[in-house]
Chains A and B, each alone.
Chain A
Amino acid sequence: MLAALVQAGGSFSRPSVDWHAASPELILLGVGVLITVIDVVWKQRARSLVVGLSSVGLLAALVPVVTLAVDGTPRSMFGGAFVVDDYALIMKAIFLLSAYVVVLMSTNYIAEGDYWENEYYSMLLTSVLGMLLMTSARDLISIFVALELLSIPAYMLATWRKRDLKSNEAGLKYYLMGVFASAIMLYGMSLLYGSAGTTLLTGINKAVSATDKPTAVVTLGVVFVLIGFAFKVSAVPFHTWAPDTYEGAPTPVTAFLSVASKAAGFVGLMNILFVGLIGRSDVYQPLIWILAAASMIVGNTVALRQTNIVRMLAYSSIAHAGYMLAPLAVVSADVVFAGGGSVVVADQALRATVTYLAIYAAANLGAFAVVIAVARKIRTAEIDGYQGLFRYAPGLTVLMTIFLFSLAGIPPLGGWFGKFRVLEALISPGTAWGSTLALLVVVNSVVALYYYGRVAVKMWVEEVPDGDMTPVRVPVSLAAALGLTAVATLAFGVGPGLIGHFTEVSLLAGIGG
């Protein structure tokens, strides 16, 4: 066996490492290891230190992201398996900032409950590390490794309230569905590898686009890979784990799953779709169209009937996955000149989804932060518990209103711009399928407004059920999380040029599209 390996190596030379490009990941890895070392040495006595360290680590990892963005040149390592371009950088920034907000939300929640703290933060950082890797992964193996690296800690985080049966259920369901999806995806990847002879996405693109290849294997590969990611982003009909997991998991973890983990699924999906499979739009377009339409319709209609706000947000996040998938359903390799210059429809779709992800992240994290804050007083996540919130917590009510209506897409709150870009991407190719999906997005936005609006009415209109008017005490870190997300949500809505500037990204440069 060893001899065979030596033979196969041939003229081998050490791959060069671009330390600058890899530094966000390395910093996170370092901090994660450091936290474990601290934990090993001081055990739970170091809890407060660990919280601070993980925040600092996340922000420190943001520094090289910024310097790389300022530098601006796309970097590529390991034969093109690890790429740092504008797209990877904006997603890294979104992941790091979302994770930072999640840490702020977790601080008191985890400290006040009877939970392991040091492990919580090291798991969180490990998961974020997987997400950062995912943004740069342009190779089947690195995508899969990144996916597992971000998923496995997330399974554990979902069960963090280990004395609570619901939390156990949450983690177990998430784990079983997750590994099932991984298996399907891995099978699909093996088929793609089999037909292309390489794991590099650019190579796969060349192979699957060629017409003389057997299409059956490629079709199966594409479909299985997409289904694997559909589980990850909780698109209907592969969404069944999401509501139970979201409800049972600790609320900060739910926020993390519904924002960062979902976004990571999208990142992986977009990497494979745009770099590897763009030539096979005949296969993926109908599938994504159906996934998107089904997610919107089912997510929104089921959300209408929810009485628990976390479950409602879970179903709404399924619907949002539908909105975010929608632009991908019109992606194809055909270059259509659709902007003031040569904007490719595919680029526009990518930008729409990235923009939506960023804006959705702010509003959804904010909504969960309010849920955590309110639960400190009312000790429940039932929507009826929110009755009369305005009477004793006007600030939280205003914030929740901002977040919910941003999710609904009401100007001047951020959400409208995300929806706008999605609609723009859907209409730009001028096809009947795209326009129909755009119409579905519109109708669904109205349906969604009903359940968001209902919560708003409960908070603003009703009387407090038990007359308990004591205000909600919001700890500093949670207040910081609320402030950050609220400012972002408003800023995205009033000055969408801000987010628009950063999301002018493309994945097509790498394949010469």
Chain B
Amino acid sequence: MSEFLRSYLTVAIFGLVGLALVGAFLGLGRILRPDHPTPQKLESYESGVDPTGDTWSQANIRYYIFALLFVIFDVEAVFIFPWAIRLDAYGAFGLIEMGIFIFILLLGLIYAWRKGVLRWA
């Protein structure tokens, strides 16, 4: 049982330290920051313009989809760089494999296009 307690003591300490850190940072911020509230400071910030309408404004979902498509092809590059360096060793096998990889990703783009995601209106 003492063995059991000893190994789990680590976990308990870790958890406590984690909680303490959160507490410490929030507390520290509270102590250090100047605190002079005015009504204007409590308004939400919209580029210096007076805020209008509800805080729950809807962003167009298409922004999100475009961002997603961008990320896919952005991340793809991470795989292509090391592959390019080792192309010698891979030979034709590597070329075909990367072809398949890019084809599958491209399929995603074609899919999005066919489903009309890329049409803005």
Q: Which residues of A contact B (CB under 8 A)?
A: 2, 5-6, 9, 12-14, 33, 36-37, 39-40, 43, 215-216, 219-220, 223, 282-283, 286
Q: Which of A14, A33, A220 contacts B89 (CB 8 A)?
A: A14
Contact of B10 among A5, A6, A216 (CB under 8 A): A216
A interface, over-half SS: helix
- CB–CB A12/B107 < 8 A: no
The segment from B19-27, B39-47, B90-98 found at the interface with A is B90-98
Contact among A2, A14, A36 with B94 in the assembled complex (CB-CB below 8 Å): A14
Given contacts A37-B107, A40-B111, A43-B114, contact A219 B10 (CB under 8 A): yes
User: Are A286 and B8 interface neighbours, CB within 8 A?
Assistant: yes
Give the CA-CA distance A14 to B3 in the complex, in Å: 46
8 inter-chain pairs at a CB distance below 8 angstroms, sorted by A residue, are A33-B107, A40-B107, A40-B111, A215-B10, A216-B10, A223-B8, A223-B11, A282-B7
Q: How large is the interface on B (under 10, 10 to 19, 20 to 34, 35 or more residues)?
A: 20 to 34
Q: Are A36 and B93 in contact (CB under 8 A)?
A: no
Residue of A nearest to B93 (CB): A14
Chain A: which residue is nearest B88 at the CB level?
A12
B62-95 residues at the A interface, CB under 8 angstroms:
81-82, 85-86, 89-91, 93-94
Interchain CA distance A463-B111 in the complex, whole Å: 52
Q: Are A5 and B4 in contact (CB under 8 A)?
A: no
Known contacts: A219-B10, A220-B10, A220-B11. The answer to whether A14 contacts B85 by CB under 8 A is: no
Question: In the assembled complex, which residues on chain A have CB atoms less than 8 Å from the CB atom of B111?
Answer: 36, 39-40
Distance (whole angstroms) from the CB of A2 to the closest CB of chain B: 6
Q: Residue A14 contacts which of B14, B91, B107 (CB distance < 8 angstroms)?
A: B91
Q: Which residues of B contact A37 (CB under 8 A)?
A: 107
Q: A282-B4, A283-B7 are in contact. Are A9 and B85 (CB under 8 A)?
A: yes
Among B8, B82, B104, point to the contact of A5 (Cβ < 8 A). B82
CB distance from A7 to the nearest CB of B (A): 10
CA distance A31 to B93 in the complex (A): 21
> Which residues of chain B come closer than 8 Å to A220, judged between CB atoms?
10-11, 14
A223-B11, A282-B7 known; 13 new pairs, CB 8 Å cut-off, are A2-B81, A5-B82, A9-B86, A12-B86, A12-B89, A14-B89, A14-B91, A36-B111, A40-B107, A40-B114, A219-B8, A220-B11, A223-B8
Q: Which residues of B contact A (CB under 8 A)?
A: 3-4, 7-8, 10-11, 14, 81-82, 85-86, 89-91, 93-94, 104, 107, 110-111, 114
How long is the Cα–Cα vector from A223 to B10 in the complex, in angstroms?
A: 10
- Report which residue of A6, A33, A40 has the largest number of chain B beta carbons within 10 angstroms of its beta carbon: A40
Q: Which residues of B contact A286 (CB under 8 A)?
A: 4, 8
Are the C-beta atoms of A6 and B85 separated by less than 8 Å?
Answer: yes
Q: Give min CB distance, B91 to chain A, whole Å.
A: 7
Q: What 9 A-B pairs have minimum CB-CB distances, sorted nearest first?
A: A216-B10, A219-B10, A219-B7, A40-B114, A286-B4, A283-B7, A223-B11, A14-B89, A12-B89
Residues on B with C-beta less than 8 A from A2 are: 81, 85
C-alpha spacing A286/B14, complex, angstroms? 18
> Which of A6, A13, A14, A43 is the most central at the interface, judged by chain B CB atoms within 10 Å of its CB?
A14
- Residues of chain A within 8 A (CB-CB) of B81 are 2, 5
Is B11 touching A219 in the complex (CB atoms < 8 A)? yes
* In contact, B85 and A5 (Cβ under 8 angstroms): yes
CB-CB under 8 A for A40 and B110, given A5-B82, A286-B8 = yes
A216 to B85, CA, bound (A): 39
- Residues of B near A43 (CB, < 8 A) are 114
With a cutoff of 8 Å between Cβ atoms, the chain A residues found around residue B93 in the complex are 14
The answer for the CA separation of A367 and B75 in the assembled complex, in Å, is 42
In the bound complex, CA of A379 to CA of B4 (Å): 51
Smallest CB gap from B104: residue in A: A33
Task: Find the B residue at minimum CB distance from A37.
Answer: B107
- Cα distance A39–B112 when bound, in Å? 11
A33 to B4, CA, bound (A): 49
Q: How far is the CA of A60 from the CA of B81 in the complex (A)?
A: 35
Q: Is the CB of A14 within 8 A of B7?
A: no
Whose C-beta in chain A lies nearest to the C-beta of B1?
A286
- CA distance in complex: A14, B93 (Å): 9
Does the CB pair B90–A14 fall under 8 Å? yes
Residues from chain A with Cβ under 8 Å of B4 in the complex = 282, 286
| Smallest CB separation, B5 vs chain A (Å) | 10
